[in-house]
Structure formats: C-alpha cells, structure tokens
Amino acid sequence: MRYRTLFIFGTRPEAIKLCPVINHLRCRAEFEVSVCATAQHRELLDRVLAAFQVVPDFDLDAMLPGQTLTQTAARILAGLEPIILKVRPDIILVQGDTTTTLCGALAAFYQKIPVGHVEAGLRTWDSLQPFPEEMNRVLATRLASLHFAATDWAAANLTREGVDPSRVVVTGNPGIDAVLYVKEQLELGKLKGTEWQPDPTRKLIVVTAHRRESFGEGIERICSALRRLAERPDVQIVYPVHPNPNVREPVRRHLSGLPNICLLEPLDYVPFVDLMRRAWLLITDSGGIQEEGPSLGKPILVLREKTERPEAVRAGTVRLVGTDEENLLREVERLLDDPQEYERMAVIHNPYGDGRASIRIADSIVSFLKK
C-alpha cells in the first residue's frame, strides 16, 4: 500500500525543513507524495525549492501587495480546500508556525484528514512573542494527530499540554538534515557557494533581522548598534536584507555606504549556508539560524527577548541579547575581545538533531497509518 502524503508550506524556512523530508519520502516505495506551496515568500521560497529540486504540484500564489494576516489566512484556507479534495491524502504534513501552517492544519481538520506537525512543541508561553507564530503553533498542536518534536524539551511541552505521548515522536529537526547536506556538498565542490567574498583579514559577522516584533524601534536600535560596531577595523559585517519594507527602509537609511558593512539582497539557501560556515559570528532573530549555527560551530547572538528554542541557550552556543543597542554592542565586543569567551560558544554541539530526522519522520508516518 502507498500512503498519499500532501505537504503544505509557504515560506523559505518551511521549505528548508520540509524539502529533505519530501525527497526522502519520494525515495521510499510506501509513499505517494504531493506538494502544495502557498508562496507566502514567493522569491525566497522558489530559490530554496530549486536548490533541493522540489517542484510543487500545486501553487496557490496567495500573497498580494499590502495583504493583512487575515486576508492571507482567508486566501490560503479557501485555496487549500479544492486541492485537498483532489489529492484525498491519507495524511497532511505542515511545519512550524506560519500562517500557512495553521491554515494547512485547519483545512485538513475540516476534511477529517490527520495532520503531521513537523517541529512541534516549540513554546515561549507568550502569545505575542513571536507574533503571530506562537499562537499559530499552539493552535496547530490542537489540530494535529502526529507531532514530530525536534527535542525532548519540545516533546515534554506537548505532553504537559495533554497531547497523547504515543502521538509524540522525537525526530530531531530536518533543518539539520538540510544544513549538513548542503555543507557537505559545498565542501565537495558539488554546490556553488556565495559569490560575495569576505575580507580574510577581518572577522566576518553575518546579520539577519526580519521578525515582526522588531519592526519600528527594535530594528532602529539594531541598526544603530551595527553602525557603531562597524567603526572597529577588525570586523566586516554582511547583512542580507529582507525584502519587507519595515526592514529594508531603516536598514538602508542607517547602514548604506558604510565601509565595513555590506548590504546584500536576500541570498539563496545554499549561498547563505556558505556564508554562515565562513562567518566568525552570527547575529540573528531567525529561529532556523538558531538551529543551524551550532552545527557549523558558530556563536549566535539572538536579537530577541524570548526564544522557543532554549536548548542551544542551555548548551551555551546561543545567547539571547534582545534589541537594546548598548547590550547588543556589549555582547558582540565581549566575543571579539575575549578569546576564551568566544571558544566557549564556538563549540560544535547541536541539540536539535543529527541529520536523520527525515528518516524518523517517514518511519513514524508508516507506523501511524498502519494502525
């Protein structure tokens, strides 16, 4: 018997984490795989799909200029119903905590189709941090039948909330499958890395910041700290700038033209992994980079007050610094000026996985559907 499996995703981070699972399931005789992209991140998503050679069977192209969260959710939910009715899947897989995640799980529930939730159990216990992701993933938990937790901590969160422990599987995070695969292919020369070349005489700091809760004063403070940091002659800062105008406008206003800062267009996934592996330090508000960086042995300063991924904080490879200008500058300079402190954080120790999450997810789906 072949199990009809429908993947639904819409953003670059979702695609990065689901593409290894899609490709693994397609190699196994037990599965008949269909892929639906909602295209919350149109250009960023398409480039990830190309890197993993995944072509969606269905594309909602759901985003319109200036669209609100409510409008986005309504378009996605309405667009998914005819696709689900056509495919008639045995299970639908969603990932993480986006609007697509919630709508995919809800659309599946309306058709009484079980949902497998990849990277389940992340929590900050603050419905507004991050917004709207925290509530999206909490609601997805209520709608899911099978929960793929990346870590024991995430699994424990689910069982504390009343999820049946037999429906929770600790798989590791498939995003680690992705980054380790790309790292290996880059080292073998089988994939092309970034065309931008850093100055080898300076310490390369890679920055990303795009989260909704940092819009406004948060991104202004981040830019002010980076501007001051760029005055040091021993650093080089590279910042691939998210296309959202709430990010792009203040970043370009504060940082354009500075000699030690290079502002890039958003990078494809493979060149960005190449950039991370060359980096001396990562500064980010990205959940995915918090997971990927430890596999590359890079210290990570997180531009958030709370994280739903505390495992790497406890392991010492990630530190929460928020968006306060003085605190961010102080923490970066501590790593720049204290070699022992840097070495304590620059340890390859990843609590999020070993590169075999896709295999565990596939095996768990088979066991679940056989029952």
CA 118 to chain centre: 12
Instruction: Using pLDDT thresholds of 50, 70 and 90, give the confidence band for residue 8.
Output: very high
Average pLDDT over residues 36-42: 87
Domain boundaries defined on the chain: 3-172+356-370, 192-345
Inform me whether the pLDDT recorded for 348 exceeds 80.
Answer: no
214 versus 9: the higher-pLDDT residue is 9
pLDDT one-digit tens code per residue, 218-247: 999 999 999 999 999 999 999 999 988 899
pLDDT one-digit tens code per residue, 15-28: 999 999 999 999 99
What residue has token string 């961010």? 328
Catalytic site positions: 97, 119, 133, 210, 212, 242
Give dist(CA 268, CA 119) in Å, integer: 22
Give dist(CA 98, CA 82) in Å, integer: 21
Is domain 192-345 classified as CATH 3.40.50.2000? yes
Inform me whether the pLDDT recorded for 108 exceeds 80.
Answer: yes
Instruction: Using pLDDT thresholds of 50, 70 and 90, give the confidence band for residue 324.
Output: very high
Is pTM beyond 0.75? Reply is: yes
Average pLDDT over residues 268-283: 94
Q: Which tokens hold the place of 306?
A: 């709370």
pLDDT one-digit tens code per residue, 138-188: 999 999 999 999 999 999 999 999 999 999 999 999 999 999 989 998 999
pLDDT one-digit tens code per residue, 166-180: 999 999 999 999 999
Is domain 3-172+356-370 classified as CATH 3.30.300.130? no
Strand ordering across the sheet containing 146-149: 58-59, 31-37, 3-9, 91-95, 115-120, 146-149, 168-170
Inform me whether the pLDDT recorded for 73 exceeds 90.
Answer: yes
Give dist(CA 218, CA 128) in Å, integer: 15
Q: Angle, nearest 10°, between helix axes 12-26 and 174-187?
A: 80
Instruction: Using pLDDT thresholds of 50, 70 and 90, give the confidence band for residue 43.
Output: confident
Average pLDDT over residues 255-277: 93
Question: What Rg, from alpha-carbon coordinates, does the chain have?
Answer: 20
Q: Which tokens hold the place of 337?
A: 């000026």
Instruction: Using pLDDT thresholds of 50, 70 and 90, give the confidence band for residue 307.
Output: confident
Give dist(CA 342, CA 319) in Å, integer: 12
pLDDT value of residue 41: 72
